[in-house]
Amino acid sequence: MSENCSPPRRYCDQAATSWPKPPEVIAAWQRAATELGVAPGRGGYREAVEAAGVIEDARRVWARWLGGVDPQRIAMPATATLGLNIAIHGLVRPGDHVIATAADHNATLRPLAWLARRGVIEMSVLPCDRAGRVDPGDVAQHWRPATRLVVFSHASNVTGAVQDAAAIATEAHERSGLVIVDAAQTAGVLDLDASAIADVLVAPAHKWLLAPHGNACLWCREGVEPEMLVQGGTGLLSDTLDMPNAFSARHEAGTGDLAAAAGVVAADRWWRSQADGSVEPRAFAAGLATTCRRALEELRGVRVIDGGDGPPIVSFLVEHYAPAEVATALEMAAGVQVRSGFHCAAAVHEGLATPEGTVRASFGPFNTQDDCQTLVETVAMLVAAAPGSGTRS
């Protein structure tokens, strides 16, 4: 128990953002702020030059994380949301039809809906099943002469279900469409091969990759050139009012987040340092999610949502309790922090038949078996306190 008698914090909301970060990431993040503390690429003095190098190192890290793409085709917006907005607003043309999926996050569905409501585009949303998966064959069913883009989340942030990205991309490419993949929930979970599944791929650094907030990647295949959303200073060609032509400069106007980029480089080093260890961090987190899923499935009155072959996410419902009540009880009774509600992905809940949303637990490499067990025991207590309680036989 901590001083105020509340139970110790057990953070199980890694799908929202990872916490804690590896100590090396925090150290690099802090060093960039305290020892460098400059605007990268904006001066010729020592720290500014080093900072510019850190930014390019982070770009090369992303290129590796995306399966060996060309670093020059990567821009680093501050958030995945911004990257997705650049991709969507920068690629659609008036009159386009866009296909999205019900399993997508508001980071893509909201900009698309915004464009559709203003009559710029028309959109179709592919339905998903009870796990949050779409049928790639539905792309063909919804294709129209005006269809130009298919946009989808690689994995659902509500269920963890991974879409068959290669099949969806094939359907789109056979019809000369472009594919934007939101890899927010797979970067750091799966080995990505961006060029095999997408023309544009966006991912944040702060979730499963264990890097800080303030850095994300926007990768576009050569020849896929979104219009810029933002123009301004880049540190390059300052004597002209034209934006530079380089892909990254075109999408990185303004002073970049040096500390976050340093954290990305350190996170990459941390991941590589784990390669020889006895427990692979991704497998460990996946194991916790599996343990949690199986134990919750044993409790009568608990519905565990299907999915779960990708990020270590377990979404569930407890009979007689609203999702928010479960989340509050978990924190108050046991310090277990989970997310409840719609998880910024309202459309998926129709397919899941979860009109009030879900309780979502998600695990990372720094969670423990004890976190998992405490969560399950606390849910069991809630079940026991509800009418018709008991354990499945």
Binding residues for ligand PLP, rule: CB under 6 A, are 16, 79-81, 105, 107, 153, 157, 182, 184-185, 204, 344
Q: How far is the CB of 276 from ligand PLP (least distance, A)?
A: 30
Measured CA to CA in angstroms, residue 219 lies from 32, 196, 283 at distances of 25, 13, 27
Give the whole-angstrom CA distance, residue 15 versus residue 359. 12
Choice between 81 and 378, CB closer to ligand PLP: 81
CA atoms of 387 and 33, how far apart (whole Å): 54
Smallest CA-to-CA distance from 42 within 285, 189, 254 is with 254
Q: Are 49 and 347 in contact (CB under 8 A)?
A: no
Residue 153 beta carbon to ligand PLP: minimum distance, rounded to whole angstroms: 4
Task: Specify whether the CB–CB gap between 277 and 302 falls below 8 A.
Answer: no
DSSP, residue by residue, 216-244: EEEEE-TT--PPPS-----SSSTTSSSPP
Q: With respect to ligand PLP, which residue has the nearer C-beta, 190 or 295? A: 190
Nearer to ligand PLP, 182 or 257 (CB): 182
CB of 217 to ligand PLP, least distance (A): 11
Rounded Cα–Cα distance for residues 200 and 218 (Å): 7
Nearest distance from C-beta of residue 175 to ligand PLP, angstroms: 25
CB 111 within 8 A of CB 135: no
Nearer residue to ligand PLP within complex by CB, 13 or 96: 13
Q: How far is the CB of 257 from ligand PLP (least distance, A)?
A: 13
β-pair type (358-362, 339-341): antiparallel
DSSP states along 252-286: --S---HHHHHHHHHHHHHHHHHTTSSS-HHHHHH
User: Which residue(s) pair with 108 in the sheet?
Assistant: none
Task: Give 3-state DSSP helix, strand, coil % of the chain, rounded to 5.
Answer: 40, 15, 45
Instruction: Give the nearer residue to ligand PLP in terms of CB position, either 208 or 316.
Output: 208
Please report how close the Cβ of residue 358 comes to ligand PLP at its closest, in angstroms: 14
Supply 32's token pair.
Answer: 């960039």
**Residue 6 C-beta: closest distance to ligand PLP, Å:** 26
Closer Cβ to ligand PLP, 208 or 271, answer by number: 208
Q: How far is the CB of 109 from ligand PLP (least distance, A)?
A: 10
Question: Which of 134/379 has CB closer to ligand PLP?
Answer: 134
- In the complex with ligand PLP, the residue whose CB is nearer, 184 or 200, is 184
In 10 A of CB 68, how many CB atoms? 11
Q: What is the closest distance, in whole angstroms, from the C-beta atom of residue 16 to ligand PLP in the complex?
A: 6
Nearest to 376 by CA among 310, 323, 297, 301: 297
Q: Which is nearer to ligand PLP, 83 or 335 (CB)?
A: 83
